[in-house]
Homo-oligomer: A and B are copies of this chain.
Amino acid sequence: MPKIGMEKVRKEAVIGATMRCLCKGGFTGLSVKAIAAEAGLSTGIIYHYFRNKEDLLLNVIREAFAQSHQNVMQVVEPLTSQRDKLFKHIESIHSVVLDNPDFYTVLLNFLGQTSNNPEVKKIMTKFLSNLTSYVRRYLEEGVARKEFAPDKTKDLDVMIIALGMGLGIMCTLAPETFDHKQLGESFKSFAEKYVE
């Protein structure tokens, strides 16, 4: 087994293992030992690549957010109409619950940390404003191109993201109670009602 040029591979392996552990058992009981075992590595090597457990966890959120963002972008970017982009974006956001449930596990587990950990807060704030600004861009551009009516977009970006996140959380927490597919339809029709 090679020993050189492994930094990226190892870091990814550890981050992935951490996510899997997080999904299995949540924050409580998320030990470095367990992560190392999951990654098939020794505990020591984790400290070779990450300053400490917190540093590792911060990398985990960053990675989870980046991945989720990338997934959405891959689907939305090729589209040309702002309207299509907006609705595809909404659809993508909603389908994260099923396509990438790990994202929600990570999100839900870190939400509680936000108020106590400045670094987590920074990442979380950045992530949320990132999300809204994408939607805002579609809307503004769409208005400019006369795809949407101009006057109704007040706070619509934030509303869409809030609604998407709220639904995502509810569907994740209580999938038996909240029907993911049907709520996805309602989500889209909510947006439609606004932009038309």
Q: Give chain A's interface residues, CB within 8 Å of chain B.
A: 23, 25-28, 105, 108-117, 121, 124-125, 128-129, 154-155, 158-159, 161-167, 169-170, 172-174, 176-178, 182-183, 186-187, 189-190, 193-194
Contacts and interface: CB of A to CB of B under 8 A. Distances in A.
Copies in the complex: 4
Given A158-B183, A170-B162, A109 B112 contact: yes
A165 B167 CA distance: 9
A70 B129 CA distance: 33
Q: A23, A25, A128 — which one has the most chain B CB atoms within 10 A of its CB?
A: A128
Given A115-B26, A173-B111, A173-B121, A183 B165 contact: no
Nearest to A190: B159
